[in-house]
A = this chain, B = another copy of it.
Amino acid sequence: MVKVNPHYERLKRPIIFPIIEQKLKEFQGDDLINLGVGDVSMPLAFDIAQAMSAAMVEMSQEPIGYGPAEGYLFLRNALLNEYRHYGISTDEIFISDGINTDLANIADLFDPSCKVATIDPGYPVFGDSSLLAGKEVLCLPCLEENNFIPQPPSQSVDIVYLCSPGNPTGVAMTEQDLEKWISYAHKTGAIILFDAAYAGFITSSDVPQSIYEIDGAKSVAIEMRSFSKSAGFTGLRCSYSVIPQETGLTKLWKKRQNTKYNGCSYPIQRGAVQALQSEQASAQITAYLECASALKEALGQNAYGGVNSPYLWWKVPEGMSSWDFFDLLLQEHHILGIPGVGFGSCGEGFVRLSALTTMDKVKEVTNRLGAYAH
């Protein structure tokens, strides 16, 4: 029998979605409001669908063939508009089929002996892909006492996964928060992998739109962004990574992508270009943010996040676990959240509610949850 990668044994975290699915199967009721999975609830903007259909017609008239592993120049050049003023160039922007993929694959570039630090609670792929690569993983707790902002550890690490605006907490890092990390990275030689999947939701003036707003970030930070939430691309698969030359990793990533990847689908990239200028897509973000704001107001002072993010991080009533409160929300109020512990042990005591929904549903949630607002 072939020897399998022993690190798969290290993925011991209970996968919560099958448990939730089972609970949903047993659930009785026809008025469930789903604030669980972080998926969009509005359809794809019509102009984006149209741009992709046009690309299909184009392909049925003339073959397009293999595209570049790094993505088409038409999309990378369009993205440059958001990055040019930081001194980023087209050959530092790489298109891919999803931020999940890039966050996991970037581990390929580093020596297995590298030590990783990752936020807890956080998007599971940060820790899981590091474990699978045989790396040591240190947790950066994001708790009520540090306003859910990860703090640089006292020890040195080689790789740091950060996410802002945060998933699941919905809390965004300010310029000052990020400056601490850039300074840490310069001191220790660490590389920051910055998951900015929710950058499109930023409205506060003290929250940087990009990590490259911080002086010195270009030599220590890789930024990853997605079209999934900002343009309803969850089922279409398109994202991008910015890897500045100053990190010393640009050529290595290019080599990796040209060896192990064959590029993102052509019509999807045509849709992504349209998404950058789609008024309907940006109106959707505004609508989701209005839902987040209304939900935050309804839940009261124990609800965090929800300002530069579609997520609310809601503290559970005293004496309950996040699973207890999940069950109570589901059984008594017919509302689906996600138990915070599913995002790491520091997520215990919270549930995540998603405002990627409609105002009607937020109003109904408000009616049902009146008793918990405080």
Contact = CB atoms under 8 A, between A and B. Distances in A.
Interface of A: 1-6, 8, 11, 15, 37, 39-46, 48-50, 52-53, 56-57, 59-67, 97-98, 100-101, 104-105, 108-114, 124-125, 128-129, 132, 158-159, 189-191, 232, 234-237, 248-249, 252, 255-256, 258-268
Given A234-B65, A260-B125, A97 B100 contact: no
A9 to B, nearest CB: 10
A6 to B, nearest CB: 6
| Most chain B Cβ neighbours within 10 Å, of A42, A65, A98 | A65
Nearest to A271: B56
B101 A262 contact: yes
Contacts of A158: 2-3
Given A111-B5, A158-B2, A265-B268, A59 B235 contact: yes
Nearest to A6: B111
A56 B44 contact: yes
A261 to B, nearest CB: 6
Given A2-B110, A3-B114, A100 B49 contact: no
B237 A263 contact: yes
Contacts of A104: 259-261
| Most chain B Cβ neighbours within 10 Å, of A66, A158, A159 | A66
Contacts of A62: 43
Nearest first, the 4 closest Cβ-Cβ pairs linking A and B are A104-B260, A49-B60, A3-B111, A235-B266
A237 B264 contact: yes
A283 to B, nearest CB: 14
Contact of A63 (B43, B60, B64): B43
A267 B258 CA distance: 25
A250 B85 CA distance: 47
A46 B252 CA distance: 39
Contact of A97 (B15, B53, B255, B265): B265
Given A100-B260, A128-B259, A232 B191 contact: no
A37 B59 contact: no
